[in-house]
């Protein structure tokens, strides 16, 4: 049943829900028409089936005539049988008695037929001027029955009672068997509600206010929550970026000595070769070939120093998050060249197993370099205390297969102290560290970098010693990228 309100067409009543049963006390024939014409007009226009049950002071003929004047396009409603005008005595008094069961069954049948013909529901008005005192009690029983049963039906029923013939007792009977009463006296409308209806309306109004208030509060809360969440998410992203940068700088600061070595080495060679070149030119005759060769070496070493600085700058630089095609094997070689002094310092033997011709991955080169750098530095650190076996670090990269398609699989295998099986996942928790002065962010950030590339980062215990970290990055052609 639709919950939309029905326009009663009666000014002081306005819109009411289905299941409304009310009465109208009228003084004159005109009062009756002034109420019922707009009542049915509104019903017809709203797609309801209408039944007007007539008795004196109106005749069926008068009703049709007044309807014709009051309802535009009445012909159409008549031809498609949207409205019928019935005699009150035929409806209520067939067989000379008021048969409560028969009347209510008739209304039920009319309702069922109307619904099956596509009407929203039915709108009924019955006049009671025909009612004699001897039928009063039966008719009130019928009204009471209708009042009880109408609540869940798509019906609006308006019963009209002549005010002039209603005494106080009748008035009370009628008011008690309807949800509310309206009257127009000397041109002024009066609405008489039963206490239940007043209470129900007050309750509905209160519930509506509560509901509106709750909707408002909830909306405000949601808006605030969405705003908070957005701000929190932005702040978190900023913090992660900053932390990633700090972690990278921390790694870089660990590498500073190595970087100095990497730059000082070619600088020393440049100075020596340049001096040598001058000396060769100073010979008599000048040793031109040797001088030229020395100068060529100067150029080569200057380029080498420049490359070291460029690599270091690329690593220290804050990522702008831009993605490009990255050759993973080439990227690993660049990182390895940078950590070479660190490798030597810790007497680590690096074995490279880098497959060539791998498909590129689409990624943030700086962040991927940072991730690989972290894995390598972790591997070196993990072997710092190892003396009983070679400190071997195996860096591999090959084709891999992820859950979502092919990818490039990077492996960093150390022969270090390893970790307990139940600690393998903890390694990726923020601030989990086994290093005395570690931040404990490297692997945590590493994993988020891998995930940001649609990839995975995980650790496995080696059969003999140490751990292998695996990084799987989806290929550029992989649809997840």
Partner 1 sequence: MVCVVDDDESLRRSVRNLLSSVGFRVETFASAEEFLESTHRADIGCLVLDLRMAGMNGLDLLRHLAATGSRIPVIILTAHSDEEARRQSLGAGAVAFLGKPFRSDALLDAVRTALGM
Nearest distance, CB of residue 396 and partner 1, angstroms: 21
Nearest distance, CB of residue 309 and partner 1, angstroms: 14
For partner 1, the closer of residues 239 and 257 by Cβ is 257
d(CA 67, CA 79): 14
Q: Which of 17, 149, 341, 430 binds partner 1 (CB under 8 A)?
A: 341
Nearest distance, CB of residue 266 and partner 1, angstroms: 6
Structure-block tokens of residue 161: 């009672």
Place of tokens 């940078």: 338
On whether the CB atoms of residues 52 and 63 are closer than 8 A, the answer is yes
Contact status: 264 vs partner 1 (CB under 8 A): yes
- Cβ neighbours of 182 (radius 10 Å): 22
- Cβ neighbours of 43 (radius 10 Å): 31
Sign of the Cα torsion 45, 46, 51, 52 reads negative
Contact stretch for partner 1 (CB under 8 A) within 105-113, 145-153, 263-271, 462-470: 263-271
Contacts of 466 (CB under 8 A, 6+ apart): 379, 382, 383, 413, 414, 415, 416, 417, 418
Contact status: 113 vs partner 1 (CB under 8 A): no
Nearest distance, CB of residue 272 and partner 1, angstroms: 4
Contact status: 389 vs partner 1 (CB under 8 A): no
Contact status: 242 vs partner 1 (CB under 8 A): no
155-162 and 15-16 strand pairing: unpaired
Contact status: 369 vs partner 1 (CB under 8 A): no
Q: Cα–Cα distances in Å, from 159 out to 20, 88, 139, 361?
A: 11, 11, 12, 80
Q: From residue 295 to residue 334, what is the string marking binding to partner 1 with x (rule CB under 8 A)?
A: --x--xx--x------------------------------
Nearest distance, CB of residue 260 and partner 1, angstroms: 7
For partner 1, the closer of residues 213 and 296 by Cβ is 296
Q: Please measure the distance between the N-terminal and C-terminal CA atoms of the chain and give it in whole angstroms.
A: 50
For partner 1, the closer of residues 200 and 292 by Cβ is 292
Contact status: 277 vs partner 1 (CB under 8 A): yes
For partner 1, the closer of residues 20 and 273 by Cβ is 273
Q: Which of 76, 113, 345, 435 binds partner 1 (CB under 8 A)?
A: 345
For partner 1, the closer of residues 78 and 302 by Cβ is 302
Long-range Cβ contact pairs of 304-311 (< 8 A, separation 24 or more): 304/266, 305/263, 305/266, 305/267, 305/270, 308/259, 308/262, 308/263, 308/266, 308/337, 308/338, 309/263, 311/337, 311/338
What is the binding site for partner 1 (CB under 8 A)? 257, 260-261, 264-277, 279-280, 283, 287, 290, 293-294, 297, 300-301, 304, 341, 344-345, 347
């Amino acid at each position: 049943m639709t919950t939309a309100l029905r326009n009663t067409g009666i000014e002081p009543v306005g819109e009411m829900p289905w299941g409304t049963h009310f009465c109208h006390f009228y003084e004159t024939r005109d009062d009756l028409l002034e109420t019922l014409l707009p009542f049915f007009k509104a019903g017809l226009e709203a797609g309801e089936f209408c039944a007007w049950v007539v008795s004196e002071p109106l005749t069926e003929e008068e009703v049709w005539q007044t309807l014709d004047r009051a309802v535009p396009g009445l012909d159409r409603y008549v031809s498609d049988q949207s409205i019928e005008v019935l005699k009150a005595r035929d409806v209520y008094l067939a067989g000379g008695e008021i048969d409560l069961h028969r009347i209510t069954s008739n209304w039920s049948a009319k309702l069922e037929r109307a619904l099956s013909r596509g009407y929203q529901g039915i709108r009924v008005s019955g006049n009671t001027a025909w009612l004699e005192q001897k039928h009063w009690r039966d008719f009130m029983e019928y009204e009471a029955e209708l009042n009880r049963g109408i609540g869940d039906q798509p019906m609006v029923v308006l019963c009209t009672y002549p005010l002039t013939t209603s005494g106080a007792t009748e008035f009370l009977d009628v008011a008690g068997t309807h949800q509310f009463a309206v009257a127009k006296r000397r041109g002024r409308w009066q609405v008489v509600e039963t206490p239940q209806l007043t209470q129900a309306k007050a309750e509905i109004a209160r519930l509506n206010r509560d509901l509106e208030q709750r909707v408002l509060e909830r909306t405000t809360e949601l808006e605030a929550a969405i705003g908070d969440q957005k701000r929190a998410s932005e702040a978190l992203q900023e913090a992660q970026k900053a932390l990633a940068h700090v972690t990278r700088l921390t790694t870089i600061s660990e590498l500073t000595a190595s970087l100095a070595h990497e730059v000082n080495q070619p600088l020393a060679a440049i100075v020596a070769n340049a001096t040598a070149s001058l000396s060769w030119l100073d010979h008599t005759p000048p040793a031109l070939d040797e001088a030229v060769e020395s100068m060529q070496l100067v150029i080569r070493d200057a380029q080498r120093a420049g490359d070291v600085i460029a690599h270091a700058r690329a690593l220290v630089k804050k990522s702008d998050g831009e993605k490009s095609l990255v050759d993973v094997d080439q990227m690993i070689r660049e990182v390895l060249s940078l950590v070479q002094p660190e490798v030597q310092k810790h007497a680590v033997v690096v074995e490279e197993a880098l497959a060539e011709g791998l498909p590129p991955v689409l990624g943030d080169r700086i962040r991927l370099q940072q991730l690989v750098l972290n894995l390598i530095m972790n591997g070196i650190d993990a072997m710092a205390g190892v003396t009983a076996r070679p400190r071997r670090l195996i860096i591999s990269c090959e084709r891999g297969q992820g859950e979502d398609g092919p990818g490039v699989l990077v492996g960093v295998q150390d022969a270090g102290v390893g970790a307990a099986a139940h600690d393998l996942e903890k390694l990726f928790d923020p601030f989990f560290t086994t290093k005395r002065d570690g931040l404990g962010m490297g692997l945590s950030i590493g994993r988020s970098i891998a995930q940001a590339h649609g990839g995975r980062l995980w650790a496995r215990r080696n059969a003999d010693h140490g751990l292998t970290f695996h990084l799987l990055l989806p290929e550029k052609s992989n649809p997840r990228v």
